[in-house]
């Protein structure tokens, strides 16, 4: 699938959410809040936000009245930064970053392709800041409203994996 991991997907939504609150003037949002709004488990959000904090994309405020907030304004944070922090890098294969990963790169045609594809993808993600994503979101919301095409439930959201839940009680 060449799939984006859930960390990348959830993390992006987490950051978009924080960006929204940032714009609204709030300075600390608690994870419970984000968890409710985005329908992602708090426990998982706690794990996802750690690398974002280490990378100084978000700031944490401990104790009562604390929470998280963006470390910079949404227009100063690029999607590419978020993904690199959460996915390790935007590289499609290890040997693009780590030349020791596979020998025979001298004769491997695929290596060229993966490397260039990684660059193409990175360049694409580098175009967008959180501010851009916020703008897209607002435009979409306005469109959905005017269009009157409200989805029935609208509870869960992108990247959500709680679909096949056949395993019963656990």
Partner DNA sequence: GGAATTTCAACACAATTTTATATGATTACT
Partner DNA sequence: AGTAATCATATAAAATTGTGTTGAAATTCC
Binding residues for a copy of itself, rule: CB under 8 A, are 1-5, 8-9, 12-13, 16, 79, 83, 87-95, 101-114, 116-117, 120-121, 124-125, 128, 133-134, 136-137, 140-141, 143-144, 149-151, 153-160, 163
Q: Indicate the length of the chain as a whole number.
A: 170
CB of 110 to a copy of itself, least distance (A): 5
Query: Which residues lie below 8 Å from residue 136, measured CB to CB, with a gap of 6+?
Result: none
* Angstrom distance (rounded) from CA 84 to CA 118: 12
120 binds ligand FES (CB under 6 A): no
Binding test (CB under 6 A) with ligand FES, winner from 30, 55, 92, 93: 93
CA atoms within 13 A on the CB side of 28: 10
117 binds ligand FES (CB under 6 A): no
Residue 148: name its binding partner from DNA, ligand FES, a copy of itself, none (Cβ under 5 to 8 Å by kind).
none
Element (H, E) at 69: strand 67-70
Q: Which two tokens stand for residue 113?
A: 């392709």
């Amino acid at each position: 699938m060449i799939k984006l991991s859930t960390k990348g997907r959830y993390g992006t939504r987490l950051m978009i959410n924080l960006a929204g609150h940032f714009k609204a003037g709030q300075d600390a949002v608690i994870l419970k809040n984000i968890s409710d709004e985005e329908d992602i488990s708090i426990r998982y959000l706690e794990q996802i936000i750690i690398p974002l904090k280490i990378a100084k994309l978000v700031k944490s405020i401990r104790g009562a009245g604390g929470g998280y907030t963006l470390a910079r304004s949404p227009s100063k944070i690029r999607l590419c930064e978020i993904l690199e922090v959460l996915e390790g890098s935007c590289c499609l294969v290890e040997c693009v970053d780590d030349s020791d990963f596979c020998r025979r790169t001298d004769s491997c045609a695929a290596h060229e392709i993966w490397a260039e594809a990684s660059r193409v993808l990175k360049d694409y993600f580098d175009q967008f800041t959180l501010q851009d994503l916020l703008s897209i979101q607002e435009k979409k919301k306005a469109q959905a409203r005017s269009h009157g095409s409200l989805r029935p439930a609208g509870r869960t959201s992108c990247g959500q994996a709680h679909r096949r839940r056949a395993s019963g009680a656990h």
